[in-house]
Structure 1
Amino acid sequence: MPMFGEKATIPAKKRIVFLGDSITDDGTYISYLDAYFRLRKPEVELELINLGVSSETASGLSEPAHPFPRPCVFDRLNRALAETEPEWVVVCYGMNDGIYYPLSEERFEAYKAGMRRLLRTIRAAGAKAIAVTPPPFDPGALDRAAERLRPANAAEFSYDTPYEDYEAVLKTYADWVLELDESRADGVASIHEPMLAWIREAREKDPEYRTGDGIHPNRQGHWVIAKSLLAELFGVKPESEPGYVDDPEGASAAYPLVWERHRLLSAAWKEHVGHTNIWKAEGALPLAEAKAQAAELEARIRAAAESRPEERFV
């Protein structure tokens, strides 16, 4: 894909929308991308809009045991594109799309059809469509795994009682994403394999290491995602992990403000566009008000970055 890898470059200015499920909704990896450019490349004007929605799918599927029908990106896609007018759209789905069941051709086809439609709609709106692989499922991080994981012949599965080898399902989905060519997407990026490598390395050092909750990665996992996207989308390969990954409050003067700004705008944008998750972003401000507060935070971020130039990791 010409946008990525060795040919990837940092644009001087770009509006980039992120669509995805709860991992994107959390937004930590997007805040790391934002912090990198604000601290290391302050002359770059990248607007990163997080439109992740918890529980969402591209497939339109929902397991019977889910407490409410899973939202689907197509419930809001046209409005999201019209309201944000993005130049790039980065999409990361798959974790929920297999609905935590063993691999089946029917569910796999629903994921593929949903992703193709999603990428096609984005391109028709005039934006570049960038497909990211789903992250891995890590049963070793699941609380009470012995009682919650289900064998392939179980009657029912869910996010709370997933198939014991659900990682194999996500690996199949990830491999398919990486096979998308220029006729389907403007670029693809892998976070699946880098995160698997991180999990293996962490467990070699500490067999009890918790990478998150099995589905949602911890802060270090979000850094792996951010680092992978920095390399694939922008040709940037940071040599070290920033201190605020381990210590978000104490290691950085600027990062807590970047995070505050990110969550402020993410909640406002998500509710402005609308979605079908029954849970709404708590305390979300009207978009115009959120943008005004974000502008104030922007000035504080610049001042904080200037006061701590050592934060500009490479």
Structure 2
Amino acid sequence: MKPFYGKDKPLPEALRIVFLGDSITDDGTYIAYLDAYFHLHVPASRIELINLGVSSETASGLSEPIHPFPRPCIHDRLARALAETQPDWVVVCYGMNDGIYHPLSEARFAAYKDGLLRLLGQIRQAGAKAIAMTPPPFDPASLPDGAKRLLPEGRPESAYSYETPFADYEQVLKRYADWVLSLGEDVADATVSIHDELLAHIAAERAADPAYLSGDGIHPFAPGHAVMAQSILRTLFGIEPEHARAFVTAVDGSAYFELIMQRHRLVSAAWKEHVGHTNPNKAEGALPLAEAKAAAHALEVRIRELAADFKASPAS
């Protein structure tokens, strides 16, 4: 699958991209990196990124018996999400929760495949491009108290959960990721690999520092989100990896990126609660959508001013 845009095909004047996923998307740092890139490099294009990630969510509808509440499922809110946002593209990232931290089961794998295929199909029926990201890897070496929490194969089904995951859960996610990448254009308009890219990033960092922590085993820290953003920029927009990496290095820790993140959190919380979801933990302090958009518009002026400060930097 070729990038949708690149040197020979500039971005359109306006593009609305919705992101659906679990807590990794809910965090949204990778989406904020994309937002920062577009503001800096294609300021004339009105690219709107809407983060509708919901913590604990799945595409499969599965949930561990001891999860504090039944895991939300994207299919419970998909119709409203599509109707309210009217996207041009929808990027989906599911899988981490869909194996429910158990050993591989063909029944659970089938539920994941069915849920993701239905999701992609409904996105296309709504007139949007459907883009599937692989799940990220599970990194047991970064799991707090991993030696105490990781369980070997052969335990009762009820023993496994996000609190006590299967020790080799990464192999489950690898199987899921490989399947996502096998999807053809008859199913998905594009697929984005983040699983293997994140594994390579972790391996490189750990070679330099054996104590390196990529996150908490499930959720990547900001450097992992940067890898995710770079994969999206390369796969969908034809942005050279070296250029994307240099850009992330340039903006990290800057007042510019902090303001991008502030606006992202503000609008994401408002959109998520506006569309609705079944996670009992709601976004604290979420503004009504109209108020959030007005506040975001006010921040936009300052964001564009700060973006101008990076224009002269070759690293940007």
Scaled by the length of structure 1, the TM-score of the pair is 0.95
CA 1:94–1:4: 2 relative to 1, 3 Å: farther
Alpha-carbon distance in 1 for matches of 2:163, 2:7: 41
Answering whether residue 237 of structure 2 is matched by residue 234 of structure 1, we say: yes
Q: Which letter does structure 2 place at the counterpart of 1:259?
A: M
CA 1:51–1:311: 2 relative to 1, 3 Å: farther
Q: CA deviation at 1:286?
A: 0.2
Q: CA deviation at 1:305?
A: 1.7
In structure 2, what is the equivalent of residue 265 of structure 1? 267
In structure 1, what is the equivalent of residue 20 of structure 2? 19
In structure 2, what is the equivalent of residue 188 of structure 1? 191
Alpha-carbon distance in 1 for matches of 2:86, 2:292: 18
CA 1:98–1:63: 2 relative to 1, 3 Å: same
* Structure 1 ranges of 4+ moved more than 6 A: 5-8
Listed as ranges, the matches of 1:136-151 within 5 Å are 136-151=137-152
Equivalent of 2:290 in 240, 264, 288: 288
Q: CA deviation at 1:83?
A: 0.2
In structure 1, what is the equivalent of residue 103 of structure 2? 102
State whether residues 93 and 133 of structure 1, in contact with CA within 8 Å, keep that contact through their aligned partners in structure 2.
yes
Scaled by the length of structure 2, the TM-score of the pair is 0.94
Alpha-carbon distance in 1 for matches of 2:8, 2:231: 12
In structure 1, what is the equivalent of residue 69 of structure 2? 68
- Unaligned 5+ runs, structure 2: none
CA 1:189–1:8: 2 relative to 1, 3 Å: farther
Q: CA deviation at 1:8?
A: 9.2
Per-residue CA deviation, residues 222-244 of structure 1 (Å, 9 max, x unaligned), is: 00000011000111122525346
Q: Matched residue of 1:129: which SS?
A: strand
Alpha-carbon distance in 2 for matches of 1:4, 1:194: 20
Tell me how many residue pairs correspond in the alignment.
310
Equivalent of 2:210 in 207, 211, 216: 207
Q: CA RMSD in A?
A: 1.7
Q: Matched residue of 1:102: which SS?
A: coil
State whether residues 39 and 311 of structure 1, in contact with CA within 8 Å, keep that contact through their aligned partners in structure 2.
no
Alpha-carbon distance in 1 for matches of 2:9, 2:266: 28
Alpha-carbon distance in 2 for matches of 1:189, 1:218: 19
Q: Which letter does structure 2 place at the counterpart of 1:47?
A: E
Equivalent of 1:168 in 151, 167, 171: 171
Q: Which letter does structure 1 place at the counterpart of 2:165?
A: P
State whether residues 32 and 264 of structure 2, in contact with CA within 8 Å, keep that contact through their aligned partners in structure 1.
yes
Listed as ranges, the matches of 1:82-97 within 5 Å are 82-97=83-98
Q: CA deviation at 1:183?
A: 1.4
Percentage of identical aligned residues: 63
Q: Which letter does structure 2 place at the counterpart of 1:287?
A: L
CA 1:152–1:241: 2 relative to 1, 3 Å: farther
CA 1:97–1:10: 2 relative to 1, 3 Å: farther
Alpha-carbon distance in 2 for matches of 1:5, 1:289: 33
Per-residue CA deviation, residues 100-148 of structure 1 (Å, 9 max, x unaligned), is: 0000100000000000000000000000000000000000101111110
Q: CA deviation at 1:304?
A: 1.5
Q: CA deviation at 1:311?
A: 5.5
